Copies of this chain bind each other. A is one copy, B any other.
């Protein structure tokens, strides 16, 4: 049954999105303009994201730390490009403890400055390198228009900041971490995504280059899904971070940073969810299986208990919904909250020796014998759901991926159905700006090893240098 609290995805995508966020109880607006409350259902997804990414970061030798929330204005200003990039969107603390501050402090929009400040005093020799630090924290950017998860003034993220003795090693790190984000989106979130390099116009303020992972939402609008930056020695020079290299000479360190945010929850919704609410890929779902007993016979509750125990022993997050609500209400709730598998255990079915399994992604019902090999059945089904969700998202993306050979074609595509547009580019920022005039279409990334489509730039007709993916964006 269609959920009346949720607008149709094909009719009003923007409203559908916020309806899903609210109906699945992922987040709510707060009394603080532009800031959201991440509700338990939303936060549990973030916890799963943290758990999986953090484990991977640590396997690769990274350690976590915590830098201060506040940055003194003077410290922030040392790296010109960074401050110019972020100045329009920072918030300033000007008084504390009932006194005006001598120097105002900004709430971190990102922490390159603080890490540099720390590293400067803690690295001496090449033997201290690399330093592979990461932090999970909140940051603040004073956005004008906000939407839950996609763009809010405060958001949660992880920011990795590493320093290295050589350019080569630092570049390898930038690439490696982009690989982690790509893997995480494809394998865990079931979001097919594209790796590439940002153009100079779109790269991070202060970076030499930025690698990016780009995903396409159901409506054909792109979402940046993880970035990894190479800074070279730029920040090191601005903040004086040097070390004694193997030749016993003083040298500036080579630096990287890389991050992902709670925006990924927005991406998950916009790729997979439907008119019935949230749909979560099993590998990221905080609850993978809900068991709903119908009626209160002992036989029913014994089997429910037995199922729960059997599944939990195998590391599957199963739980019985024993609340006072009606079964119908529980079905609807499990559906809107995107729990991958619902098991319905009813007395009448049990008399026939049967139990009902419902897939959330396809809403298919399968009636099975109650003495089925539960663990392998559920494990298979979870894998099938994960793979099917990825394949559906991939197919959608492929259907919304176009090629344009000139500006007119680009405009026609964007007017008809936005998506990823592959087109050649000469490397000139003027062409990027001209293309942006078409509905705000931006370069998403340069595909570094792609086969060329044309010899000339889609915009100016001069010699093309790169295959670029263009799109409207969140």
| Residues of A near any B CB (own CB < 8 A) | 28, 30-32, 35-40, 42-44, 46-47, 63-72, 75, 87-98, 105, 107, 114, 117-118, 121-122, 127, 133, 137-138, 140, 142-144, 153-154, 156, 324
Cross-chain contact A90 with B94 (CB below 8 angstroms) = no
Which one of B28, B64, B97, B105 contacts A88 once the chains associate, using CB atoms below 8 Å?
B97
| Further contacts, 10 of them, CB under 8 A, given A28-B121, A46-B66, A89-B97 | A30-B67, A30-B114, A35-B69, A37-B66, A40-B64, A44-B64, A68-B154, A70-B154, A91-B95, A91-B105
Cross-chain contact A28 with B118 (CB below 8 angstroms) = yes
Cross-chain contact B43 with A65 (CB below 8 angstroms) = yes
Do A127 and B324 form a contact, CB below 8 Å, given A30-B67, A30-B117? Answer: yes
For the complex, give the distance between the alpha carbons of A46 and B63 in Å. 13
Residues of B within 8 A of A143 (CB): 97
Do A32 and B71 form a contact, CB below 8 Å, given A37-B118, A66-B37? Answer: yes
For the complex, give the distance between the alpha carbons of A425 and B42 in Å. 49
For the complex, give the distance between the alpha carbons of A117 and B142 in Å. 22
For the complex, give the distance between the alpha carbons of A142 and B69 in Å. 13
Residues of B within 8 A of A105 (CB): 32, 91
Do A92 and B93 form a contact, CB below 8 Å, given A43-B64, A47-B64? Answer: yes
A195 CB to nearest B CB, Å: 29
Cross-chain contact A138 with B137 (CB below 8 angstroms) = yes
Cross-chain contact A95 with B92 (CB below 8 angstroms) = yes
Residues of B within 8 A of A94 (CB): 92-95
Which one of B64, B87, B117, B154 contacts A69 once the chains associate, using CB atoms below 8 Å?
B154
Cross-chain contact A40 with B63 (CB below 8 angstroms) = yes
For the complex, give the distance between the alpha carbons of A137 and B137 in Å. 8
Which of A46, A66, A94, A143 has its CB near the most chain B CB atoms (within 10 A)? A66
For the complex, give the distance between the alpha carbons of A68 and B122 in Å. 33
Residues of B within 8 A of A92 (CB): 93-96
For the complex, give the distance between the alpha carbons of A89 and B144 in Å. 29
Which one of B38, B87, B90, B142 contacts A66 once the chains associate, using CB atoms below 8 Å?
B38
Residues of B within 8 A of A71 (CB): 32
For the complex, give the distance between the alpha carbons of A39 and B114 in Å. 13
Cross-chain contact B65 with A133 (CB below 8 angstroms) = no
Residues of B within 8 A of A114 (CB): 30-31, 37
Residues of B within 8 A of A28 (CB): 118, 121-122
Cross-chain contact A88 with B93 (CB below 8 angstroms) = no
Do A70 and B32 form a contact, CB below 8 Å, given A38-B65, A63-B40, A92-B96? Answer: yes
For the complex, give the distance between the alpha carbons of A142 and B324 in Å. 46
3 closest A-B pairs by beta carbon, nearest first, are: A97-B142, A40-B63, A35-B68
A10 CB to nearest B CB, Å: 30
For the complex, give the distance between the alpha carbons of A28 and B75 in Å. 17
Do A68 and B117 form a contact, CB below 8 Å, given A91-B96, A96-B142, A138-B138? Answer: no
Residues of B within 8 A of A118 (CB): 28, 30, 37
A394 CB to nearest B CB, Å: 32
A343 CB to nearest B CB, Å: 22
User: Which residue of B has the minimal Cβ distance to A92?
Assistant: B95
A90 CB to nearest B CB, Å: 7
Residues of B within 8 A of A156 (CB): 66
Residues of B within 8 A of A324 (CB): 127
For the complex, give the distance between the alpha carbons of A65 and B46 in Å. 10
User: Which residue of B has the minimal Cβ distance to A324?
Assistant: B127
Cross-chain contact A37 with B68 (CB below 8 angstroms) = yes
Cross-chain contact A87 with B93 (CB below 8 angstroms) = no
Residues of B within 8 A of A67 (CB): 30, 37
Do A70 and B37 form a contact, CB below 8 Å, given A30-B114, A63-B44, A138-B137? Answer: no
A463 CB to nearest B CB, Å: 41
A438 CB to nearest B CB, Å: 28
